[in-house]
Homo-oligomer: A and B are copies of this chain.
Amino acid sequence: MVGIGPGNVSNMTAHAVAVISLCDVVCGYDKYVKLLGDMTEGKQVVTSGMRGEKDRCLEAIRLAGAGHSVAVVSSGDAGVYGMAGLIYELITDLDIPIEIVPGITAATSGAALLGAPLMNDFGVISLSDQLTPWETIEKRLYALAAADMVVVLYNPMSHHRPDTLKRACDILLKEKPENTLCGWVRNIGREGQEAHITTLGKLRDAKLDMLCTVFAGASDTKLIGEKMVTSRGYTIAT
């Protein structure tokens, strides 16, 4: 289970590169496997589109059970909304050895583009209600806002869910003021990379997609130059 980071090979770890090169099968969502470029040359490649996750994982398990070394790749970190947990849930032969190879998740690669929004306590929430009921998502958004934590949103909206970001902002706005510093990034480390700073009031109307990651600040998040920075709390003499 290999996390390949945000997308550019230079943000993969040496260990992730080594594990993929040692495996004879690479398995993953087709868009992510493409990001690996010639690293998959000479290997069996098992890909499928979005929502083919379960079948893909079952095929990976079958191939591993048949004696192949299989790299199941996820973008970001395999254990953060990735394939790692699904493999554990689906595998029945616990003698098949599994290694989780961590990768850089969008919370930190996105934060790096915006400045330093995650310098203090934060929460990570996916706005996809495919697998988590929306009421649970709302409850979690409210909890983070009421505790004045920085909030990172994965899967902020999609064609099928054009209003999830707006609805999430409305929950956050119950506890965070409209001028709360926010930011969003798109295509981290890939062609078309973007990073934008905004406010919570304006974020509500942003037109984003599944390739975006969103950051909503806390009361101690401020603009320094053009960067979004949450204070860690060190006393800074002025």
Contacts and interface: CB of A to CB of B under 8 A. Distances in A.
Interface size bracket, A side:
35 or more
A15 to B, nearest CB: 4
B9 A234 contact: no
How many protomers of this protein does the assembly include? 2
A9 B119 CA distance: 24
Contact of A108 (B10, B102, B130): B102
Contacts of A116: 78-79, 84-85, 88, 100
A225 to B, nearest CB: 4
Interface stretch (A20-28, A143-151, A160-168): A143-151
A232 B89 CA distance: 10
A123 B126 contact: no
A11 B113 CA distance: 21
Given A77-B108, A102-B108, A121-B123, 13 more contacts: A3-B108, A9-B14, A12-B14, A85-B115, A85-B229, A86-B232, A86-B234, A88-B115, A104-B104, A121-B137, A123-B149, A143-B143, A143-B144
